[in-house]
Chains A and B, each alone.
Chain A
Amino acid sequence: MTLLIAAALIHAFAGILSLIPRTERRTAAVGVAGAVGAGLCGLPPVIACLVNGSVETFARAWSVPYGSFSITLDPLAAFFLLPLFLIGPLASLYGAAYDMKKQGRDGTWFFLHGLLGGMALTVLSSNTVLFMISWEVMSVSAFFLVTRDHARETVRRAGRTYLIATHVGAAFILGFFLLAGRNAASLDFADLSANAGSTPAWLLLLFAFLGFGAKAGIMPLHFWLPEAHPAAPSHVSALMSGVMIKMGIYGILRVLLWVPLPSWLPWILILFGVMTGVWGILFALAQRDLKRLLAYSSVENIGIITLGIGVGLLGRDLDLPLIAAAGFCGALIHVLNHSLMKSLLFLAAGSVLHATGTTNMDRLGGLAKKMPLSASTFLVGSLSICALPPLCGFFGEFLLYLAGFHGLMTFLPQAAIPLSLAIGGLALIGGLAAASFTKAYGIVFLGQARSPEAEHAHEAHPAMFSVMIILAGGCVASGLAAPLVLDFVSPVVAQLTSSHAGQVRILMRPLQETFWLTTLVGAHLLFAIASLIFLRRLYLARRSVKETGTWDCGYAAPAARMQYTASSYAQPMIFSSLLRPWLRPRRRLASPKGLLPSAASMSTSVPDIILEEAAEPFLRRVADLLVPLRKFQQGQVQLYIFYIALTLLALLAWKAG
């Protein structure tokens, strides 16, 4: 516990200290040292907690009303701190090299440490006031990081969208706490959970899901993600997608431990999980901007995690312990693995942006030759996120499939129906993910450069690609060691299913056996690949191996612009009669006219329909309704003091009367 408090303090100090030095190099040194130090302090207690399954609490009275300054480290908190202390230092290291020149004293490091420290305290705090303060520190720091390049209008717009989404979410979270703690002795989480039963469960859950779901990016509250992620610097996108949106998942899991759960809840979670997953990956497929594609893919993965939580709850409700364990375990393993692979993908996308100045895939291409390390690590991330064995992304989804198949065999319709929906959803998501990521990797890194910027790209800074190599190694290792990761997660699953870690381990033994055999399959795969490479080398040893141009069907002057682009790759899919009604792609066509046509153009785009047709009109409506309130705002200090006095007087009258 001391070490964790030390880690939080290091973040605070490093953040403040980074404002002092005058040179960029020193600022970055302070920033990176702080993040690495905090990570080194934080990891030992977190790992110890996950191994032992112990619970530690630290509580002190403080002058803030409604409870004490209390923080608790239990397996659930420790599990969500793990990606934070792993990705935090790596992303900082990358960030130092990523924009050495840009960040003078503009406060990037200050806010980065605010984000990291805020997230650490959010997970640790077990008091409402402390939780809300940490939550706000996290959200507001992220806002300043997203809008760092605020000279660009798109960035300001993204920042506004994010700020509104996050604060509407925070308002609902506050509402949840107020409702849950109406009759509680204090707003410490222990008292809160004891009293949560006095409010209707559906109301509490509605508030919690609107609040935490907005942070996580569950449909239809996902609309800020594809705006904010491309606007933020890439190491910040990596942190936001890899760690910050998981705070919403953490909040949901924490709430599920308190509130008495109605029996329809798992159905809702599975339904929203499938919907979020399928829509997220559909929109990912339709994107032209690499970072937007990755952001939508995060929405998809949040969907898979939500689906897993739903499956776990279903198993818990129906007293099917294996399904409960497999569902929760799948969701949790996916949280961990997604933080590895999505940070990796965002950092690799950052290298592309750094090298070429654009993330528009239609202007990229052929980067695998210019930046081989970034390309290879991006490929590892892509294979992993498409859930292809033997990489890590496979195992979370595999557990959910296993839970689904076990559910099908129970002959309980209330288990089999939602679980077959889950199986179908996962299969559809799998195929769409492969389409999206063959597009991302193939168009950006393979083929020929589609623009001069891509032509003159260069490999990333050594500090940047070493971070990416570490993360790619993590994806491979977490895949090969998946049976061991299962042991690591069992205390958390035990907490969620209110049993003991030992029991969960015994329960999951058949799953673990399946995982070991899958690892064996993976080993055989690697062996087969190695022998085929050997075989080909043997055959080619005394033959001619030549290089020539790509086959062009006899056309005399092929050019790079003739290649398939990101848009053309996705076109048959997004304009197909099947998907078009859902995606609503727009096409602007200026067709050639007259006998000697000169200019013609065609462009397609797939805007987020939730943002454009629901969120924005709704907010505009709200803004219109609030116009009369402007009368109260005259800009005179005297008037504002008068308002304060009036409020105080009213409060006094209310209390006295």
Chain B
Amino acid sequence: MESGMIMTLMPVLLGMFLAPILPGLVNRTKAVLAGRNGPPLLQLWFDIMKLLQKGAVYSRTATWVVRAGPIVGLAALLVALDLLPFGSQSALLSFNGDLIVFAYLLGLARFFTVIAAMDTGSAFEGMGSSREVFFSMLAEPGLILSLAALCRHSSAMSLSALYPLHDFTQLLAAPHIFALVAAALFIVFLAENARVPVDDPNTHLELTMIHEVMVLDHGGPDFAFILYGAALKFWILGSLLTGLLLPFRTGSAVADLLMAVLAQCGLAIAVGVVESMMARIRLLRVTQFLVASSVFAAIALGLLLR
């Protein structure tokens, strides 16, 4: 009974504690490939702890919205974690159609991040917001059509019915479908997490930033919430992808969880490798890159409808 309870909570707990390690792993990979030592893996946890100890500075122009942005953004992502299965373990909460609620919770988080940025009245943050809504508008159909294709394939309408039951035999039965959906989800993952080639988290020029520029005017605990939320988003969207591509099923729930964590780490390393190998693409090209996600998902769905 006790251990059963702990197992149900595992997807949430693992996400909450391990998510901030993934960005550290990305940075470490990039550093190693560039011949540096790089920051410690737990750097993001250290940053968050430090930021929580600091005071806050708010813009005079801003209203309560700038204070609400990080909180609603983080809360929506934490609640999205409730709906997310991990390994072979079902989510804390699952019902038919939870994947739509999941997708729209991510939308809620984005809405508040965007209006919090606009609250400061800065041209840079307005520009970041404009780009963010543009790219997420293009990524949204990709995400939902991917989930629709998965639903159609497995005749299930809940994330917890799709992912924990998915294994290698299914993957090998229809490799082309899963390849297309994984490609679509990978693009969505890169765009939503502001990674290369859509956005460059390392850029130092406000004009070229997308996600980073929106949070320029947040500091202290608010910024800690934002960093933590970004890590959670990486974990959440990443597990949609790793759960699909690396569905280890050993028969033991604990071993499955462990394998899923390792798969998440693998994804982080892959992102680090991608970022070491290529620069971001031109803003105008991003449109085409993102539309490709919807196209892949639509082709997968179309093949299934035949």
Contacts and interface: CB of A to CB of B under 8 A. Distances in A.
Interface of A: 365-366, 368-369, 372, 375, 379, 383, 386-389, 394, 398, 401-402, 404-406, 408-409, 413, 416-417, 420, 423-424, 426-428, 430-432, 434-435, 438-439, 441-443, 446-448, 510, 513-514, 517-518, 520-521, 524-525, 528-529, 532-533, 535-536, 539-540, 543-553, 560, 562-564, 568-573, 576-578
Interface in B253-286: 283-284
Contacts of B283: 572
B18 interface: no
B197 to A, nearest CB: 17
B248 to A, nearest CB: 26
A550 B120 contact: yes
Given A401-B97, A524-B82, A532-B75, A423 B111 contact: no
A576 to B, nearest CB: 5
Interface in B111-129: 111, 114-115, 118-127, 129
B13 to A, nearest CB: 15
B192 to A, nearest CB: 12
B83 A443 contact: no
A540 B221 contact: yes
Looking at chain B's contact residues, the main secondary structure is helix
Given A408-B152, A524-B82, A543-B220, A430 B104 contact: yes
Contacts of B141: 424, 427-428, 431
A446 B121 contact: yes
A154 to B, nearest CB: 29
Interface string B42-76: 00000000001111111111110100000110111
A521 B225 CA distance: 20
Nearest to A443: B118
A428 B144 CA distance: 9
Q: Indicate the member of B63, B72, B76 with the most A CB atoms within 10 Å.
A: B63
B107 A366 contact: no
Interface of B: 52-63, 65, 71-72, 74-76, 78-79, 82-83, 93, 95-98, 100-101, 104-105, 107-108, 110-111, 114-115, 118-127, 129-131, 133-134, 136-141, 143-145, 148, 151-152, 155-157, 206, 216-217, 220-222, 225, 283-284, 287, 291, 294, 298, 301, 305
Given A547-B59, A548-B59, A521 B100 contact: no
Given A427-B140, A543-B220, A435 B151 contact: no
Contact of A394 (B104, B127, B152): B104
A152 B85 CA distance: 60
Contact of B121 (A383, A423, A447): A447
24 contacts: A379-B115, A420-B145, A424-B298, A431-B107, A431-B140, A434-B111, A441-B115, A446-B62, A446-B118, A447-B61, A447-B121, A517-B98, A520-B93, A525-B75, A532-B225, A543-B53, A545-B56, A545-B58, A548-B58, A550-B62, A553-B206, A563-B122, A563-B123, A573-B133
Contacts of B220: 539-540, 543
Given A420-B305, A427-B145, A525-B79, 19 more contacts: A402-B100, A431-B107, A435-B134, A438-B111, A438-B129, A442-B115, A442-B129, A443-B118, A447-B120, A448-B61, A517-B93, A517-B98, A536-B222, A548-B57, A548-B58, A549-B59, A550-B60, A570-B130, A578-B138
